[in-house]
Amino acid sequence: MFTIRKPLLAAAGALLLTGCQYNVLSPQGWVGEQQRDLLILSTLLMLIVIVPVLFMSVYFPLKYRADRENTSDYDPEFEHSNKLEAVVWGVPILIIVVLGYYTAVYTHRLDPYRPLDYLDAGEPIEVQAVSLDWKWLFIYPELGVASVNELAIPAGRPVNFSLTSSTVMNTLSIPALGGMVYSMAGMETKLHLIADSEGTYEGRSAHYSGPGFAGMVFETMSMNEDEFNGWVENLRAEGQPLTAESYLALEAPTMNDPVSYYSSVEDGLFDRIVGLCVAEGKVCMSDMMMSDMHGGGGLAGIADGAAYSYDRERAIDGFGRSIDLPEVEWHGGHGDDAGEEGHGGHDGHEAQDMHDMHDHGSHDDARLTAPATLPHAHGAAEDKDMN
């Protein structure tokens, strides 16, 4: 029975391993190749220590075991060896120096914020990636189109990613092309990749972001120029306009969304996504920070707190379903009576609002520093473009 069980276990293990992918060791882009080379180099350098240690952990116990017949090499007076000390300390130090050198070189070479212009690989293409709950939105600002859960790029041309998130932190990962960078709400991060050959590569979020995380996958299609231009024309022919209203509808939490296309993109939409001010009447992050830098609006600005609230409208439960939180009464004013009323609103409804906003993240930074008027709120006639 035991002899049959071992082959069965080996076969089961082999079957499980068939689901493994080795994109990291078989990359399809220059960035991925450089990262693979650093990984292999680091492993080989560390094996200089690991292999001898593994060998000696078996050799010395066998050679100097207590029941051996020949004990002529036993030296009870031995206490120090300069040669042994030189090997024990010298080899690891040399390995660390070499490893540190190559790590520094590759760190600067593969800086995700560093454009790949020095590769002379053609004109870069700009892609604005937004991680939503739970899907990916890819905007092509130069082409005026967008897609959901599908990324198309021309082979042999650098791709300049600008990343942000609508809610919690995520990570854009395309293992076959290179490393990954976080997307965060209210911030814009950068990533530069390139696909050396045509093909379809898996992409996904590599950072857990809630119950729909497993469905945040997309195909990265590397095409020749004609195929890529045809894909863009297909989006323009079949897609719907991506406006502020359609983006807010898309932003709602959903799971396992199908691929969808947008034929046009409203001007400045990505900047407003970064600023957390797509909805009408919301204050953008840049203006919020400017207000805080100048001391805020004091108690008089509490009444405008709704323009600074963001996470409250996006609260979800443990199953990814939206939560309708009670309305908050924003109070504010001047003088003792108004001040007391304003404080009452803060201690009661405001405190509960700040607690509830942690259900899904922590983007709001408005608290009590909103100005009494909102000249910079999105939708104001005198300032259409917040960024």
d(CA 10, CA 13): 5
Residue 101's pLDDT is 94
Per-residue pLDDT tens digits of the chain, which is 387 residues long: 456 777 777 777 766 665 566 777 888 999 999 999 999 999 999 898 899 899 999 998 888 888 888 878 778 888 888 988 998 899 889 999 999 999 999 999 999 999 998 888 889 999 999 999 999 999 999 999 999 999 999 999 999 999 999 999 999 999 999 988 999 999 999 999 999 999 999 999 999 988 999 999 999 999 999 999 999 999 999 999 999 999 999 999 999 999 999 999 999 999 999 999 999 888 888 888 888 887 777 777 777 778 888 887 788 888 888 888 887 777 655 444 444 433 333 333 343 443 343 344 434 443 333 343 444 444 333 343 433
Among 186, 156, 161, 185, which residue's Cα sits nearest to residue 172? 161
Beta strand 260-265 with 240-242: parallel, antiparallel or unpaired?
Answer: parallel
**Confidence at residue 343, expressed as pLDDT on a 0 to 100 scale:** 38
- CB-count burial class (<10 Å; 0-12, 13-18, 19+) for 137: buried
Q: Rounded distance, CA 280 to CA 213, Å?
A: 29
For the chain, give every domain's residue range. 22-52+83-110, 117-274, 278-387
Measure CA 59 to chain center.
Answer: 47
Q: Which CATH class is domain 117-274?
A: mainly beta
C-alpha–C-alpha distance, residues 230 and 223, integer Å: 10
The confidence score (pLDDT) of residue 383 equals 40
Q: Tell me, what's the pLDDT at 345?
A: 38
Query: What is the pLDDT, as a whole number, of residue 335?
Result: 42
Q: What is the pLDDT of residue 62?
A: 87
Residues in a beta bridge with 135: 132
- The angle subtended at Cα 199 by Cα 196 and Cα 200, nearest 5°, is 125
Contact 259, 148 (CB under 8 A): yes
d(CA 56, CA 87): 14
Contacts of 228-235 spanning 24+ positions with Cβ under 8 A: 228/152, 228/153, 228/154, 231/152, 232/140, 232/143, 232/145, 232/152, 234/261, 235/145, 235/146, 235/147, 235/261, 235/262, 235/263
